Amino acid sequence: MPRRLGWGFWISAAWIALVLGAALAADLLPLPRYDETLVGPPQAGPSLAHPFGTDGLGRDVLSRVVYGARVSLGVGVGAVLLGLLVGAPLGVLAGYRGRATDSVIMAFNDIALAFPSLVFALAVVAFAGASLTNVLIVLGVLGVPAWTRLIRGATLSFAGREFVIAARALGARDRRILLREITPNVAVPAASYAFIGMAIAVVAEGSLAFLGLSVQAPTPTWGGLINEGRAVMDNAPFVVLAPSLVMFLTVLSFNVVGDRLRALTDVRQSGLEPGRRAPALAPAAGSRTTVVERAGDALLQVRDLRTHFVTGRGVVRAVDGVSFTLERGRTLAVVGESGSGKTVLIRSVLGLLPGAGVLRDGEVLLEGRDLTTLPPKELRGVLGTRLATVFQDPMTALNPVRTVGTQVMEPLRVHLGMKRRQARAAAAELLSSVGIPEPARVLRRYPHQLSGGMRQRVTIAMALSCGPDVLFADEPTTALDVTIQDQVLRLIHRQRQEHDMAMVLVSHDLAVVAQWADEVLVMYAGRVVERGPAEALFERTRMPYTEALLRAVPRLADPAHQPLRLLGGRPPDLANPPSGCAFSPRCPYARERCGTEAPPLAEAETPGHLYACWYPELVGREREIDREIDTEGVDTRGR
Amino acid sequence: MILLRLVRLLVVLLVVTFLSYVLLNLLPGDPTTQILGLSASEEARAQLRAELSLDQPLTVRYLGWLGGLVTGDLGTSYITSVPVAEALAERLPVTLELLVAAQLIALGLAVPVGVAAARRAGRTLDQVLTTLSFGLLSTPVFVLGVVLILIFAVKLQVLPATGWTPISLDLGWNLTSVLLPAVTLGCGQMAVYARLLRTDLIATLQEDYITLARARGLSPRRILWRHALRPSAISLVTAVGLNLGALIGGTVIIETLFGLPGVGRLIVDSIFSRDYLTVQGGVVLISVGYVLVNFAVDLVYAAVDPRIRHA
Amino acid sequence: MAGSGSAHLRAPEEVLLRVEDLVVEFPAGRGRRVHAVSGVSFDVARGETLGIVGESGCGKSTAARALMQLPAPLGGSIRLDGVELTGLRGETLRRTRRRLQMIFQDPISSLNPRRRVRDIVAEGPRVWGTGEDRVDEMLEAVGLDPATASDRRPHEFSGGQCQRISIARALVLDPEVVICDEPVSALDVSVQAQILSLLEELKKRYGLTLVFIAHDLAVVKNISDRVLVMYLGKTCELASGDTLVRRPAHPYTRALLASVPRSGLDLPPADRLISGEPPSPVTPPSGCRFRTRCPAAAPRCAAEEPLMRRIGPDQWVACHHPQAPTQQGPPVS
Ligand SMILES: Nc1ncnc2c1ncn2[C@@H]1O[C@H](COP(=O)(O)OP(=O)(O)OP(=O)(O)O)[C@@H](O)[C@H]1O
Ligand code: SF4
Ligand code: SF4
Ligand SMILES: [Mg+2]
């Protein structure tokens, strides 16, 4: 935790502690009293005796600033507590109860927000008397709407989660759910806002004091000190600068602490430019392929591609030495479990990785031209016209604020230089070619007005718009319903045939792969473990992991309650992969050698069928060996 | 839909005016003392109360005041004998100019700064811009104002520290007199806006549709301005509306600090002289402005995001 | 109000859970309503596993939550062991609801990120004050080591392990019916197999009754005794898994089966069995809700809603023109 908060947090926290400590212990510190005049010559500059100098009446400015902190911080802390005590329960109530309760509370909140708060504070303090309690109460009450809004939002985002439903199913009462399930989750954003709120309250108190409407002289407050200091600004600027600086630092510290706390739940960063090339780590010993890739005139050839991410946990070897060759008119399927590096592989081929912290190595040859060394502008030309992409989730693949038409027409206009009218006609034609009824009407719509299947058709149309040579489809149907899934896969397949493209189809569904792929590449822990023509790979599997994948899926044709073959354990941590064969901890056939030496890719009987395993002859004989798999919590159900 | 919102808006205004009327009247302090002085006799006070209809119940007075409001009559100040509406109308242009100038400066700087920072998220430029805006955000307006006056008016002597020239007199001088106050007021807002925009842009840049736009070979500049900016603008638009409250608070300070004859000053002066009616008028003016701006913000939402338009 | 019929329900005393004519609707703005579940009936006998299959938005999850009265359904009857659940309030509801437990799809949001595994699993016993001796047993039963797992928080576990924790939490109160809402949809195939096997094992060991919801027919078939097919808030077909796959009678069931790639079943290509996209549940079609996509649709289908009727010893279908069995023998495997 401390590491993620960063040094800014700790410096700020230290400053707050310092100011707070000084304010509390002001009477014990060796300082002159704040109202003692002529402790030194008036308007004297900073000196050892008076580090912040003296004001027009010869009072010690440091002392006045320290005593001023009592009011400023007192109001800050008090106002936040008050706002929290009133606002948090209201917010939790509104967010958890919803419906009428929510509407009523939020309506009041809207009204409260329409009140000009500072003006109101001024009026109340002026008429009711400028005392510490009045200032504190007014600022506290004015903070309530913001608290309510914040806590309501946080509550709302958790109240709908399944764990709350589960708690209700267990029979927990509302009070217990609020206390045990909601409160701990709302606490972090609340703590964060408490610090921001203190910053706001300190500034607000300062504003009141600056206008002469906070605690009255002679008690010093920061705002009041700054206001007084203005009079002698010409001759003694430090009188105004000292409290200004202290106030600034304190407000800044509150803001930094609040911001860092909030960042604990923040998103990670990204960049727009392709990453600078930095060599990836050397391949692990013994993983070199023994089979030499056919060099030459293939459409797309990927050679020893490696993509590593530098993370807090160490270097993650997401893709670690992948090679393949793809000819026109063929479909290559990439399969593997979640986290095996399929998506990263596609994105590294296309150069679409985030900017910072990425190490890349290897070649991507499109008809012999290495894309990884192209300057960004040329790469963009290739990306737009020759390589095309479809992603998994059609809900997020289209820009929500632009019409379908603008988006489909964009590549036509940018890359093919079409005029608007021509592009519109071409776009309509594209849409109808992917089976969208009434294309002209759809062009004028926004993505959210279309169903998931329709949106995926739109993204396919966009991918096809410039007549690409290779189509990369990363799980194009995983987010769709089964019946729609079939429609979309058929469509993609037909388009691939019609346009004589090559296709890389990423999928975790072996049935999909078996039906649509010519060649298959199985990935495990960032490596290729088996690769080859689909038929050979499925019929004469040589690699235990591929076999396990095939067996783990229930099949429609099998009778109900047919026991599934179990693959225990889970994929390895890519920052810290096991030595030897990465699959050895889960492999039913593993022997001693597997734990020490990584198997290279070797060629099987069928040409082009490669596998990485020391004991391919054992595959398919698991029943005979029949040994228990040692795993993290797999049952031992009898067969 | 719009009709419904307008009704809601009216209700909010009614409640705000009523509450502020009641609150201001409940606060201790007696206008008769302000007008007649401490030594006035009880009869004189009672007579004055009757004259000002202060002896009537609060709700009756409020309704009377509301009736006046509809015809644009906010009452006449007991203290200065100037009609409140007139006093406000006279001061309003100054405050409006200040607000608009500050908002223009803030937005004009925030968009390029936010975009530049998001584009290079995590790199040096981003870190510098983020740190700077964090600093600005943490500087109270009166501190910033004092420091700017110290630099530009006291040391460099290039800009006036105080005073106001109306546009009608001289445009050039007008701009000079509004520059420092507007910068002071706009800087903090600029930082708030830039940070919001940066955060939202970074989130947007991680969306699939941005990666896909890159995969389509579009240039980073095009992706930023045409694809990413609009979906990232929602929080910014909200902030512009909500921050109006903070900005108006800021104008009170700024007008005091720079000696500008605006509404904020008028309200502060009226508060000190216990001029209830003027304060009440000011509060109403500000609330109306706030509510109207947020109504406009709702409309802008719909323009920015079609999902809201069709909801 | 015509539902999709209840001819397929067994006698009340034979079953543990009996749901009749369940209706759930949500407001959809501008006075319109989402007809999420419209007159669905099913029952589950003690120790049986009922599978419910259908595409997204067909109302499976809504029906599951309505069983728990979270939120309570708009209409219909839900009887658990003869006790009517709808209309129960306050303490009685709380007491009865614990006899049903639920497992959710999303392993991450099913568990409170800020609580320790032990607290999560022990929540039920603590609420009811029944002592925590079963907690360790349950953790072990789902394949977690209580000694190492207890003090950790959910984010330290993988998706599959999180589902194990959810299962332990659901079983610790010894419920009679466990409703599994897509419990394996978010998991990898190898982990999916682990969880399916675990459920089968726990079912045997604790004599559980399961309602298992999923969109993957093969998964549902593997674990279920009977399978109910739903479409747009209505029931289509009910049969044992084997019958359903061998002799699908409802046009929608056939389309679903044909859409599974490499199923090894003898069916026409899916694009001849279904077309277009599901209509909006806000404005569902009249008569048979499948008629807008059904190749066999006839005028009668728009005018009259089909009711469930028996067409085989263990097969019921809601269709005016059920399809002839396509295949007599067992499927090629
Ligand atoms: N920007 C990144 N920084 C650090 N690690 C990353 C980054 N992107 C991906 N990874 C890691 O790389 C590995 C491979 O991820 P990838 O997304 O390619 O898997 P996948 O096979 O596509 O999985 P899925 O089936 O879930 O889509 C994972 O361990 C992932 O956590
Ligand atoms: S090399 Fe050894 S551990 Fe690896 S897959 Fe082959 S048999 Fe299993
Ligand atoms: S009732 Fe008619 S429309 Fe509905 S499934 Fe049967 S044949 Fe098709
Ligand atoms: Mg992926």
* pLDDT tens readout for residues B233-252: 888 888 887 777 677 778 88
Identify the CA nearest to A16 among candidates A292, A202, A164. A202
Judge: A269–B122 Cβ closer than 8 Å, yes or no: yes
**Angle subtended at Cα A185 by Cα A183 and Cα A188, rounded to the nearest 5 degrees:** 105
Are A605 and A540 spatial neighbours (Cβ–Cβ below 8 Å)?
yes
- Cα separation, C268 vs C290, in Å, equals 19
The predicted structure's pLDDT at residue A101: 85
Mean pLDDT of chain A: 83
Distance C144 CA to ligand 4 centre (A): 28
- Say yes or no to pLDDT of B49 above 80: no
- Nearest-neighbour CA in chain C from A296: distance (Å): 35
- Single-letter amino acid code for the residue at A91: G
Which residue(s) pair with A471 in the sheet?
A: A388, A503
Judge: A560–C241 Cβ closer than 8 Å, yes or no: yes
Are A138 and A214 spatial neighbours (Cβ–Cβ below 8 Å)?
no
Angle formed by the axes of helices B234-257 and A183-210, nearest 10°: 30
The predicted structure's pLDDT at residue A305: 92
Per-residue pLDDT averaged across A118-147, rounded?
83
- Nearest-neighbour CA in chain B from A439: distance (Å): 20
Considering only residues 221 to 260 of chain C, which have any Cβ-Cβ distance to chain A shorter than 8 Å? 221-225, 240-242, 245, 255-260
**More reliable by pLDDT, C122 or A48:** C122
The predicted structure's pLDDT at residue B29: 64
Residue A400 with chain B: CB contacts under 8 Å:
209, 231, 305-307
Percent of chain A with pLDDT over 90: 30
The secondary structure element, H or E, covering residue C18 is strand C17-27
- SS3 label, residue C42: strand
What does residue A631 show for φ and ψ, rounded to 5 degrees? -140, 175
- Cα separation, B28 vs A222, in Å, equals 27
CB pairs below 8 Å between A and B: how many?
229
* Token code pair at residue C20: 């009749």
The predicted structure's pLDDT at residue C243: 93
- Cα separation, A297 vs A373, in Å, equals 18
Considering only residues 575 to 594 of chain A, which have any Cβ-Cβ distance to chain B shorter than 8 Å? none
Question: Which residues, at least 6 apart from B272, have a Cβ–Cβ distance to it below 8 Å?
Answer: A126
Going by their DSSP bridges, the two strands C315-317 and A369-370 should be labelled as unpaired
**A130-143 confidence digits (pLDDT tens):** 788 888 888 898 88
Which among C70, C222, C262 has CB closest to A561? C222
- Say yes or no to pLDDT of A477 above 70: yes
Judge: C261–A173 Cβ closer than 8 Å, yes or no: no
Considering only residues 169 to 228 of chain A, which have any Cβ-Cβ distance to chain B shorter than 8 Å? 199, 203-204, 206-207, 210-211, 223, 226-227
**A207-252 confidence digits (pLDDT tens):** 888 888 777 777 888 888 888 888 777 777 888 888 889 999 999 9
- Say yes or no to pLDDT of B165 above 70: yes
Whether chain B has a CB inside 8 Å of the CB on A312: the answer is no
| DSSP of B112-129 | HHHHHHHHTTTSHHHHHH
Judge: A163–C111 Cβ closer than 8 Å, yes or no: yes
| Cα-based distances in Å from A142 to A70, A130, A193, A207, A240 | 21, 16, 15, 14, 28
Judge: A352–B142 Cβ closer than 8 Å, yes or no: no
- Nearest-neighbour CA in chain C from A567: distance (Å): 6
What does residue A585 show for φ and ψ, rounded to 5 degrees? -65, -20
- SS3 label, residue C323: coil
Which among A510, A557, A563 has CB closest to C264? A557
- Nearest-neighbour CA in chain B from A324: distance (Å): 21
Q: Which of A118, A276, A393, A446 to mutate to test the interface with B (most CBs of B within 10 A)?
A: A118
- Cα separation, C202 vs C187, in Å, equals 19
Per-residue pLDDT averaged across C109-116, rounded?
90
Q: Which of C53, C156, C188 to mutate to test the interface with A (most CBs of A within 10 A)?
A: C188
What does residue B284 show for φ and ψ, rounded to 5 degrees? -60, -45
Mean pLDDT of chain C: 88
Q: Which residue has the tokens 């002529």?
A: A38
Per-residue pLDDT averaged across C267-284, rounded?
87
**Angle subtended at Cα B166 by Cα B165 and Cα B170, rounded to the nearest 5 degrees:** 75
Q: Which of C135, C177, C190, C243 to mutate to test the interface with A (most CBs of A within 10 A)?
A: C190
Whether chain C has a CB inside 8 Å of the CB on A196: the answer is no
Judge: A554–C219 Cβ closer than 8 Å, yes or no: yes
* Token code pair at residue A415: 């890359």
Residue B267 with chain A: CB contacts under 8 Å:
119, 122
**Angle subtended at Cα A19 by Cα A15 and Cα A20, rounded to the nearest 5 degrees:** 110
Judge: A560–C221 Cβ closer than 8 Å, yes or no: yes
| Cα-based distances in Å from C18 to A59, A97, A140, C265 | 85, 30, 55, 33
Judge: B16–A115 Cβ closer than 8 Å, yes or no: yes
| Cα-based distances in Å from A411 to A27, A380, A384, A446, A491 | 72, 11, 7, 18, 21
- Cα separation, C251 vs B238, in Å, equals 50
DSSP A537: H
- SS3 label, residue A269: coil
Judge: A210–B253 Cβ closer than 8 Å, yes or no: yes
Considering only residues 410 to 439 of chain A, which have any Cβ-Cβ distance to chain B shorter than 8 Å? 410-411, 414-415
**More reliable by pLDDT, B219 or B274:** B219
Cα–chain center distance at B247: 4
The predicted structure's pLDDT at residue B308: 74
User: Of the bound ligands, which one is closest to the alpha carbon of residue C293?
Assistant: 3
Lowest mean pLDDT among A305-319, B285-299, C37-51: B285-299
Question: Which residues, at least 6 apart from A156, have a Cβ–Cβ distance to it below 8 Å?
Answer: A95, A98
The predicted structure's pLDDT at residue A409: 94
Are A64 and A242 spatial neighbours (Cβ–Cβ below 8 Å)?
no
The predicted structure's pLDDT at residue A161: 86
Are C189 and A553 spatial neighbours (Cβ–Cβ below 8 Å)?
yes
Ligand 1 atom nearest to A523, measured from its CA: 21
The predicted structure's pLDDT at residue B172: 77
Of these ranges, A64-73, B49-58, B163-172, the one predicted with the greatest mean pLDDT is A64-73
Q: Which chains lie within 8 Å of chain C at 3 or more CB pairs, if any?
A: A
Q: What is the ipTM of this complex?
A: 0.87
- Cα separation, B148 vs B146, in Å, equals 5
What does residue C228 show for φ and ψ, rounded to 5 degrees? -110, 125
- Cα separation, B187 vs B138, in Å, equals 10
Judge: A248–B122 Cβ closer than 8 Å, yes or no: no
- Nearest-neighbour CA in chain A from B284: distance (Å): 9
| Cα-based distances in Å from B2 to B6, B12, B301 | 6, 15, 13
Number of helical H runs and strand E runs in chain C: 12, 12
- Cα separation, C263 vs A555, in Å, equals 7
- Say yes or no to pLDDT of A631 above 60: no
- Nearest-neighbour CA in chain A from B167: distance (Å): 27
Start-to-end CA span in chain A (Å): 47
Q: Which chains lie within 8 Å of chain B at 3 or more CB pairs, if any?
A: A
- Single-letter amino acid code for the residue at A339: G
- Say yes or no to pLDDT of C9 above 70: yes
Are A198 and A76 spatial neighbours (Cβ–Cβ below 8 Å)?
yes
- Say yes or no to pLDDT of A374 above 70: yes
**C196-214 confidence digits (pLDDT tens):** 999 999 999 999 999 999 9
Sheet of strand C209-214, all strands in order from the earlier edge strand to the far edge: C100-103, C177-181, C209-214, C49-53, C226-231, C234-240, C315-317, C309-312
- Say yes or no to pLDDT of A294 above 60: no
- Single-letter amino acid code for the residue at B226: R
**A482-538 confidence digits (pLDDT tens):** 888 888 889 899 989 998 999 999 988 888 888 899 999 999 999 999 999 999 998
What does residue C321 show for φ and ψ, rounded to 5 degrees? -130, 65
Which among A171, A514, A637 has CB closest to C262? A514
* Token code pair at residue A402: 């632009």
- SS3 label, residue C52: strand
- Cα separation, B132 vs A553, in Å, equals 56
- The residue nearest atom 9 of ligand 1, judged by CA position, is A344
- Single-letter amino acid code for the residue at C143: G
- SS3 label, residue B275: coil
Distance A493 CA to ligand 2 centre (A): 35
Identify the CA nearest to A458 among candidates A474, A441, A442, A478. A442
Cα–chain center distance at C146: 30
**More reliable by pLDDT, C324 or B195:** B195
Q: Which chains lie within 8 Å of chain A at 3 or more CB pairs, if any?
A: B, C
* Token code pair at residue A509: 């569904």
The secondary structure element, H or E, covering residue B198 is helix B171-205
**More reliable by pLDDT, A286 or A481:** A481
Are B247 and B185 spatial neighbours (Cβ–Cβ below 8 Å)?
yes
**C226-239 confidence digits (pLDDT tens):** 999 999 999 999 99
- The residue nearest atom 7 of ligand 1, judged by CA position, is A309
- Cα separation, C199 vs C209, in Å, equals 11
Q: Is A597 exposed, middle or buried (0-12, 13-18, 19+ CB in 10 A)?
A: middle
The predicted structure's pLDDT at residue A4: 66
- Cα separation, A195 vs A263, in Å, equals 13
Cα–chain center distance at A559: 43
Judge: A337–C113 Cβ closer than 8 Å, yes or no: no
- Say yes or no to pLDDT of C330 above 80: no
The predicted structure's pLDDT at residue B206: 85
